[in-house]
Amino acid sequence: MSWKDPGSSDAEIYKDGFHERLSRFWPGPREQLHSGGWAKTQEMTAEIKRLTTGEVSRALDLCCGEGATAVYLAATEGWEVTGVELVESAVMVARARAEQYGTVVRVKLEVSNSASSAEAAEATTTADETPAVRLHLSYQSVADLVRVAHASVHYMPLPSNSYDVVYGQDPDGLANENRVYAFKEVLRVLRPGGLFYFWHHWIPGPGWRPDLLLEYWGDPYTGSPRLSYELYLEDLRASGLQLASVTHTTELSARHMGAMAARMRREVPSLDGSLPDKWLERSLEFASRGGTMGIHVVAYKPPLPLPLPLR
């Protein structure tokens, strides 16, 4: 019996053309097809740097889409970024985006208080006690820093213990009922002590009544089995990841989904006020009844245990 990718059912949903359809009424720029847009990406970057004390050299982008965030982080932070994406056309766009970005010039200032060395003497013409300042320039192609794999997040062709950070910006692959396998893959590829940071704005938030969740799961438009804030946490813990913090994203979800609905009503008005996207319409109805939406997680791969002292 051949092995089957636990997330294989996603291939029927996330096909070529998915990002074109998604962007049709998107309230933000096409290159940021996640809630919050560029502002949220910049907020995420600052948070990752704070949580890792800036010690990031390799990052993994789950469900990276057309690669704008991966390219942005490679260009601005100098990180090596690997994206994983199921939609083949998006993978091609992401790779082309990295190639088209070109070369980044990085500038580093080096200040030395020692005026006795030959380098310091060359770097300054002032008195010996004046610190020497040297300017270092380096050139790096963004395409050399960005790799995009055409793969499922449930089975990633990536080496173990390799990434300082794994992040996801509305990574829809996690909506699959078998997401625990994706979380186990995140655990595998993170280095010990590595950071997992993601948010997912459109899933049922904390505290929904069981009967409402059953109705949501059985709805012809929103129906996705095992999809809720509580089940995400259950699967995270089952994977072996250590949860550091979790919250809902209700404000972000309402702002984003409301903006998308408003754009639909402007561009495709209807006499009864209904939306052309029934999934969004039903999701907004469920959100109003459930009261909360989304999840935002910070977790870590447990560090290696300290060796026992020799006796």
Residues 22-79: tens digit of each pLDDT: 999 999 999 999 999 999 999 999 999 999 987 899 999 999 999 999 999 999 999 9
Q: What does the angle CA 156 – CA 61 – CA 103 come to, to the nearest 5 degrees?
A: 115
Residues 116-171: tens digit of each pLDDT: 444 544 444 445 567 788 887 888 899 999 999 999 999 999 999 999 999 999 99
Least Cα distance to 261 among 248, 278, 241, 240 occurs for 278
Can you list the domains of the chain with their CATH numbers?
Answer: 8-102+142-300 (3.40.50.150)
pTM for the complete prediction?
A: 0.89
Least Cα distance to 77 among 180, 146, 162, 155 occurs for 146
Least Cα distance to 249 among 222, 221, 287, 218 occurs for 287
Task: List residues bridging with 204 in a β-sheet.
Answer: 293
Residue 207 Rama label (left phi>0; alpha psi -120 to 50; beta): left
